Structure 1
């Protein structure tokens, strides 16, 4: 059986584009996943890819962070893949691991780059949390805007007072029945 060059492409969300990853690389098969790299277990395409590759194959990834986001998972995956006799290539970092001929320097580079990537991700998350907290302290609201404006509530109350059914009222003002019932529940709980 011919040894294959297999590509693994991953983006974090459905809206992201995979075109730049592995562009121009001759591949026999490509596994493309649109999922967060938070955990390896939540990525079925990666599991399928790992089950597919055989000894002598080469698995190509655009960069380290496409395979795993944290150091321990990345090192474990590279060890697992190379343990099967599969070579792993990371194009962006220009690193190749085959398990048998890996020198200590390449392993150090893999560990350091993975650790820096994880550190960078944690810094980004910390800055995001700080920014959200600061915005909330300034009174900024997050999430979808409230559907029930004071004008819409007045219209709901008028329709119900005129004898309209709850279903008809919800449709007339353009909200779901669940939203209407939630409003009515909140209103009665506050004693209005």
Structure 2
């Protein structure tokens, strides 16, 4: 039985190594890392990605698939829910680094199944909603750039995409705001703003084309 970390690195600013580091800090013992680079989670299904499609052949009953969050599998509701259910039927356990969620098909209890499936649906819907919000913010950022309307975009973020991702991952492993601020060279107040409004922080990056 193996534990495989799947990572989707969609932009040049995102870092693959820290995804494994934070998974290991969260207690996962990773046997292998499978990663796709520069791939959209909105328009490209996991089964259509160069590395992602390998998971469908290599994962066996008893294996564990680890992802940072369900949005690494995809940012489309139908795709994410179908993918998770496919792996559960094969006897694969899916676990997330953020929130330490576990999905498997071991239970026969109808109530537990209903709760599990509802949670999968909610997380998949959230992944798509966040993707759509980010896309809208990016569109607004492009329009603002064209009109040179910096007042519309607001204050430029003091963090870049890589730092934002690092903060989210460290928060997921239970690290405090002060420790994260020291590690990322951000102020504690900035870390707290990201923690309390992740969607807003990501939207701010998108508005500035970051």
TM-score of the pair, normalised by structure 1 = 0.64
Deviation readout 1:124-167 (Å, 9 max, x if unpaired):
2112212322432459xxxxxxxxxxxxxxxxxxxxxxxxxxxx
- 2:12 and 2:133 map into 1 onto residues whose CA distance is 24
1:118 aligns with 2:128: yes
Residue in structure 2 matched with residue 157 of structure 1 by the alignment: none
Question: How far does residue 4 in structure 1 lie from its aligned partner after superposition?
Answer: 1.3
Question: How far does residue 15 in structure 1 lie from its aligned partner after superposition?
Answer: 4.5
- 1:131 and 1:32 map into 2 onto residues whose CA distance is 29
- 2:55 and 2:35 map into 1 onto residues whose CA distance is 9
Farther off after superposition, 115-124 or 36-45: 36-45
Aligned residues: 138
Residue in structure 2 matched with residue 48 of structure 1 by the alignment: 54
Q: Which runs of 5+ in 1 are unaligned?
A: 140-192
1:61–1:90 Cα contact (<8 Å) kept = yes
Farther off after superposition, 82-91 or 29-38: 29-38
Deviation readout 1:68-121 (Å, 9 max, x if unpaired):
111111101001111111111112132211113253222212211221221122
Pick aligned residue for 2:36 from 25, 33, 37? 33
- 1:106 and 1:82 map into 2 onto residues whose CA distance is 11
Question: How far does residue 13 in structure 1 lie from its aligned partner after superposition?
Answer: 2.8
More helix as a share of residues = 2
Pick aligned residue for 2:76 from 55, 70, 79? 70
Residue in structure 2 matched with residue 89 of structure 1 by the alignment: 95
TM-score of the pair, normalised by structure 2 = 0.59
1:17 aligns with 2:27: no
Cα 1:109–1:26 change in 2 (3 A) is same
Deviation readout 1:39-61 (Å, 9 max, x if unpaired):
11441101112211111111111
Cα 1:10–1:105 change in 2 (3 A) is same
**What SS does structure 1 have at the residue aligned with 2:94?**
strand
Farther off after superposition, 20-29 or 51-60: 20-29
Residue in structure 2 matched with residue 60 of structure 1 by the alignment: 66
**Whose RCO is larger (CA < 8 A, sep 6+)?**
2
Pick aligned residue for 2:3 from 2, 5, 11? 5
Please provide the CA RMSD for this pair. Answer: 2.2
